[in-house]
């Protein structure tokens, strides 16, 4: 069943309009991020999914792998032949392991279809940095320069013009958006930035590995990738652009016993502001708030919460929102910034759809009017 059968307004369109719909293909459709793309695009009235690429499940009904989509998606899984796919669709989403997209991309593909890559392959501008942190050789570095880092709220205009969008990581989207305005405006010292991140377990993927078993994750919390997680250079690069220089941060992810959600708690030293009387003092709540509002008040998907309200991941579950807030600690001269998003939506598939909307000149929130589910 196509999404036409789902949405009445699509169902009732004359047939020729269906041919005007954007055709999408997903490689890696059977990972959790891929499945979330299917959920979102199935409800997107301008898009039709033509290809559910999954090497592991070729020829099996997609809905037998994701039974929530039974009677919603009728297709069988196809393979991951990117060149063949590019000839049949307008946009390809690659929700694949690191290295796949880079190894498959070539001029033919890029000439025929726009690419939204959910892996890290094109996020980092310096090839040596990518190769060092990801431990693999980059197979198509010639596309890195044109690739646009798909953090919509920051790079909106570049995304609109892009053929190839590097969809940001889940942790990184949350971490960057939470601190970006204050770093850009020089309110905090970027070298003091510490990001303590907590993620639900869908971020670990659907691979059958003992550490991801229910009994290993449940009733448990732990840090991992301490001082060495691959999202670190991505955060440092993006916030470095904001700071106007190279920075180093500490980023520590933790695995939380829940399905979805990322919460970041970020610590930084506030930089003193020179006052009219020549004195220096730390920024006030209102001044910090004004900076956040300047950047985000008009952003539909970024909600800066009311004073004193700490973000909770459940408040954005299933939606494309990012909730942000902060507390100033006058005793220590630090600011604690907090951000929450759904790692599969704004942290992956939702942002990918948001980027696709920009690339195709659609309203940016098309298909993303998702009200967070509670409880």
Q: Name the one residue in this structure whose structure tokens are 């759809």.
A: 353
Shortest distance, position 111 Cβ to its own copies, whole Å = 31
CA distance 264 to 203: 14
Which residues in 170-189 contact its own copies (CB under 8 A)? Answer: none
Check residue 44 for interaction with its own copies (CB under 8 A): no
**Closer Cβ to its own copies, 228 or 272, answer by number:** 228
Check residue 229 for interaction with its own copies (CB under 8 A): no
Would residue 170 show up in a list of annotated catalytic residues for this protein?
A: yes
Shortest distance, position 165 Cβ to its own copies, whole Å = 22
Which residues in 327-366 contact its own copies (CB under 8 A)? Answer: 327-329, 331-332, 334, 336, 338, 340, 363, 365-366
Shortest distance, position 153 Cβ to its own copies, whole Å = 15
| 3-state SS assignment for residue 214 | helix
Q: Which residue among 32, 52, 93, 149 contacts its own copies (CB under 8 A)?
A: 32
Binding piece for its own copies, criterion CB under 8 A, among 123-131, 219-227, 284-292, 350-358: 219-227
**Closer Cβ to its own copies, 185 or 317, answer by number:** 317
Distance of CA 172 to the CA centre of its chain: 8
Give exposure, 309-331, as e/b (b: 16+ Cβ within 10 Å): eebebbbbbbbbbbbbbbebeee
What would the two tokens of residue 108 be? 């033919």
Check residue 153 for interaction with its own copies (CB under 8 A): no
Interaxial angle between packed helices 170-184 and 152-160, expressed in degrees from 0 to 180 and rounded to the nearest 10:
100
**Closer Cβ to its own copies, 227 or 276, answer by number:** 227
219: left (phi over 0), alpha (psi -120 to 50) or beta: left
CB atoms within 10 A of CB 204: 15
Integer-rounded Cα radius of gyration of the chain: 21
Greatest extent of the chain over all pairs of C-alpha atoms, in Å: 73
> Of residues 77, 152, 170, 174, which has the active-site annotation?
170
CA distance 278 to 66: 63
Which residues in 71-100 contact its own copies (CB under 8 A)? Answer: 71-72
What residues does 328 pair with on adjacent strands?
335
Q: Which residue among 238, 317, 320, 358 contacts its own copies (CB under 8 A)?
A: 317
Q: x/- contact string, 274-313, with its own copies (CB under 8 A)?
A: -----------------------------x-x---xxxxx
- How many residues interact with its own copies (rule CB under 8 A)? 89
């Amino acid at each position: 069943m196509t999404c036409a059968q789902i949405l009445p307004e699509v169902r009732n369109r004359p047939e020729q309009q269906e041919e005007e719909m954007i055709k999408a293909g997903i490689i890696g459709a059977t990972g959790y991020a891929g499945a979330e793309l299917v959920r979102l695009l199935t409800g997107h009235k301008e898009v039709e999914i033509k290809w559910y690429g999954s090497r592991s499940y070729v020829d099996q009904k997609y809905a037998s792998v994701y039974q929530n989509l039974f009677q919603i998606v009728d297709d069988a899984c196809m393979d991951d032949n990117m060149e063949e796919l590019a000839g049949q669709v307008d946009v390809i989403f690659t929700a694949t392991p690191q290295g796949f997209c880079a190894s498959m991309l070539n001029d033919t593909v890029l000439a025929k279809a726009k690419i939204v890559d959910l892996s890290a392959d094109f996020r980092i501008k310096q090839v040596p940095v990518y190769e060092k942190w990801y431990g693999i050789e980059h197979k198509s570095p010639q596309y890195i320069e044109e690739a646009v880092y798909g953090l919509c709220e920051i790079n909106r205009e570049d995304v609109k013009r892009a053929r190839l969008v590097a969809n940001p990581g889940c942790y990184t989207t949350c971490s960057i958006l939470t601190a970006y305005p204050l770093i850009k405006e020089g309110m905090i010292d970027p070298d003091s930035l510490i990001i303590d991140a907590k993620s639900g377990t869908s971020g670990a993927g659907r691979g059958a590995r003992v550490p991801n078993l229910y009994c290993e994750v449940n009733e448990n919390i732990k840090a991992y990738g301490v001082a060495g997680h691959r999202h670190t250079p991505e955060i440092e690069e993006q916030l470095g652009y904001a700071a106007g220089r190279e920075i180093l941060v500490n980023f520590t992810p933790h695995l939380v016993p829940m399905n979805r959600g990322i919460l970041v708690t970020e610590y930084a030293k506030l930089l003193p502001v020179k006052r009219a009387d020549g004195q220096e003092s730390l920024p006030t709540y209102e001044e910090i708030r004004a900076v956040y509002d300047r950047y985000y008040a008009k952003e539909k998907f970024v909600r800066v919460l009311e004073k004193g309200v700490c973000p909770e991941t459940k408040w954005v579950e299933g939606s494309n929102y990012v909730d942000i807030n902060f507390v100033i600690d006058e005793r220590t001269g630090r600011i604690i910034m907090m951000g929450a998003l759904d790692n599969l939506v704004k942290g992956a598939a939702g942002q990918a759809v948001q980027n696709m909307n920009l690339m195709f000149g659609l309203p940016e929130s098309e298909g993303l009017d998702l009200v967070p589910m509670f409880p």
